[in-house]
Each structure stands twice: as C-alpha cells, then as structure tokens.
Amino acid sequence: MPAVIELDNLEVKLGNRTILAQLNGALSGHCIGLLGPNGSGKSTLINTLLGFYRPTSGAVRIFGKDVRTNTRELRSQIGYMPETDAFIADMSGVRFVRYMAELSGLPASEAMERAHEAFFYVGLGEARYRKVGTYSLGMKQMAKLAQSIAHGPRLLLLDEPSNGLDPEARQRMLQLVREIRDTGEVHVLFSSHLLHDIEECCDQVLILKEGRIAALCNLEEERKANRQFLELEVSQENGFLDAVRGLGCECASIGAGRLKIVMSDNIELRQIYQLASDHTVQIRRMNYRRDSLEDIFLKAMSNKPETNGVVHGSL
C-alpha cells in the first residue's frame, strides 16, 4: 500500500529546543494510531503535518507531496479535529461547519449542503441550528468531527476525539471513526492516550518517546505474530505435558505442578481442556493471554528509541 505519510529524517525545533528528532518511517494504514506520553511530540507532529511548524531539517510528505511546498493544496485534503475547542460560540452549528468547509476550499452553496450532511451523519441533525455555545461536551466533540469531514478530506487528523465523553458517546465516536476508516476513501491519524480506543480502531501504530520513534508497527501483523501464552497449575502431569507437545505446542514444567505453554494459532483452548480430561489431570489455575497494545506500548516505553528514529515490526 502506498504511504500516506512519509517521515524522512524529520527534525523539528521550537526555539532552541529539539522537539522531534530523526523521525523516519512510512505510515500507510487506513487508521494510524499515534501514541506517546505527554511531551513526546505528538502535538508537534500533528502541527507539522498541518504545515503550522516547518521542519528544521528532513521532510514530511503527505500523499507523496512535501508539506512545505504544497501546504495550501494539502490543507484542502486534510480534515483536522483539534483536542481543544475552537468554536465561535454565537454561531449556529451548521453555520460554523459551513464556514470551516469554505475555509477548506468549498464554494458557499456546496459548503452549506455538506454542513447539513455532516451534522446528520454525526447525529446532530436536530441541533444544527442551535448556537454552538449551548452544546454539551459530547455535542461539541461531534460538531468538531462534523467540521473535520464536511469538505471531504482524504486524510483525517483526530486529536483525542473521545476525550471527556461518557461511555455511550465514546462508543458512538469510535463507531463513526471505524465507519470512516472502512469506506477506504479516507485515511485516519488517531491521536489518543486511551490505548483501548487505538486498539479498537487502528491497523497501524506509531509510538513516540522523547521526540523519537519508539515503535512503528502493523497491529494486524503483530496480532498474528504474537504467540498465545498459557500458564497452568495442575494436580499431576500424567503424560499431559507430552500430549500437549504432541499438538505442536512448546511446553515447560517449572515445578510444583506449574506449566508454561506457548500455543500456536491453530490450537484452541478447548483442545487443552480435552487433553487434561483424557489424562485425568485437574487444572487448578490458568492464566491465558495474548500480547496486547498495552504490552507493545510498555515495551516501547522501556526501550531506548533507536538513533535512526524508527523501530519496525515486532518489539
């Protein structure tokens, strides 16, 4: 898949301070998660993609075009949902979204039509004539999403889109992000501190640490490659360990009836239960898990970022 965003030895300094250093990598997912602790450079990267910050050295390209020399053209193809509110409180919702669509390059009549469509899409059709200043937090988040998609962008930058939402509104937001992603017409960069939201929506993840890339990986490939780990405590072995090895699993006994098993993807947990029953083995305790995005994130935070700014694939 062609790269949506290319980072070519990107460095960004603000004043005399280096915020981003030696970022290299190609982001090509339909929905790309952007993770990192506070101060890691996430907001600086987003502002650089938008052309607000100019690279000190290196380059960043979107759809193959350098942001520095194609800023106006690229902004018309990018939708941006900021973390902080930036509304004109006395404007009605639909008028505000129309105004933002016009700023993105749409003619006034088309911008108004698209503003109505965007409001109905995010579920605010009945509130579109109300002043934005009267909206609840959840409604304001949906209005920000509406203005980011009204002009039909090819790349959507979402900065903490589910921030502050109650569980029902959060699920609605994530469902909309997945729907946008699944059209195949819009690529999404999803910045969030909520790992669960990233895991639900994204197929690629970029993790920043101290202004460098700590990890860049394809989540689908990671999920396929990560092996399943099973820890058991059994009453007795009775040939159970050899039988599990016969399924093609890696096994080890660590004493006192405790076993560690690495399961391949074609093995189901019920097969382990069946072998235990066949060998009259009682399973007293079991811990069954697969590496999650949290594991990937914690490993990235514990490792020192590579000097060339990128770690590919498995951690």
User: pLDDT tens digits, residue range 165-183?
Assistant: 999 999 999 999 999 999 9
Paired strand residues for 103:
none
Model pLDDT, residue 293? 83
Instruction: Answer yes or no: are the C-beta atoms of 22 and 9 closer than 8 Å.
Output: yes
Reply yes or no on whether the pLDDT at 84 is more than 50.
yes
Query: Quick one: 180 and 243 in the same domain?
Result: no
Q: Where are the alpha helices (DSSP H) in 155-287?
A: 167-182, 195-201, 219-225, 240-246, 269-278
146 and 183 share a domain?
yes
Three-class SS of residue 249? Answer: coil
* 192 within domain boundaries: yes
Residue type, 151: H
Q: Residue 230: its pLDDT value, please?
A: 82
Checking if the pLDDT of 312 tops 50, the result is no
**What pLDDT score was predicted for residue 220?**
76
The answer to whether residue 311 sits within a structural domain is no
Q: Is the pLDDT of residue 48 over 90?
A: yes
The pLDDT score that the predictor gives to residue 313 is: 39
Above 70 in pLDDT, residue 223?
Answer: no
The reply to whether the predicted model has a pTM over 0.75 is: yes
Tokens in use for 15?
Answer: 């004043």
Among 1, 5, 87, which Cα is nearest to 48's? 5
Q: Is 240 helix (H, G, I), strand (E, B) or coil?
A: helix
pLDDT for position 123: 95
Do 104 and 80 touch, CB atoms closer than 8 A? no
Q: Does 102 share its domain with 248? A: no
Of all residues in the chain, what percent carry a pLDDT higher than 90? 63
User: What count of other Cβ atoms lies within 10 Å of the Cβ of residue 3?
Assistant: 15
pLDDT value of position 93? 96
Judge whether residue 310 has pLDDT over 70: no
What is the Cα–Cα distance from 49 to 43, expressed in whole angstroms?
A: 10
Q: Write out pLDDT tens, residues 234-267.
A: 888 888 888 988 888 888 888 888 888 888 777 8
Tell me the pLDDT of the chain averaged across its residues: 89
CATH code assigned at 69: 3.40.50.300
Q: How does residue 290 score in pLDDT terms, banded at 50, 70 and 90?
A: low
List, for residues 87-109, the tens digit of each pLDDT value. Answer: 989 999 999 999 999 999 999 99
User: Which pLDDT does position 86 carry in this prediction?
Assistant: 86
Per-residue pLDDT tens for 201-215? 999 999 999 999 999
154 inside domain: yes
Q: What is the pLDDT of residue 99?
A: 95
Q: Residue 160 belongs to what domain range? A: 5-223+295-302
Rounded CA separation 97/130 (Å): 12
Buried b or exposed e, range 77-102, using 16+ CB within 10 angstroms: bbbbbbbeeebeeeebbbbbbbbbbb
| SS3 of residue 211 by DSSP | coil
Query: Residue 218 falls within a domain, yes or no?
Result: yes
Predicted local distance difference test score (pLDDT) of residue 267: 82
- Domain assignment of residue 309, yes or no: no
Let me know if residue 314 belongs to a domain: no
Task: Name which residue leads in pLDDT, 293 or 18.
Answer: 18
Q: How far apart are CA 254 and CA 205, in angstroms?
A: 35
Say how far apart CA 263 and CA 272 lie, in whole Å.
10
Number of folded domains that form the chain: 2
- Phi/psi of residue 179, each to 5°? -65, -45
Residues 211 and 124 in one domain: yes
Amino acid at 183: T
pLDDT class of 224 with cuts at 50, 70, 90? low
Q: Is the pLDDT of residue 222 over 50?
A: yes
> Tell me, what's the pLDDT at 298?
83
Distances (CA, A) of 252 to 249, 259, 268, 285: 10, 6, 19, 16
Cβ–Cβ < 8 Å for 151, 104: yes
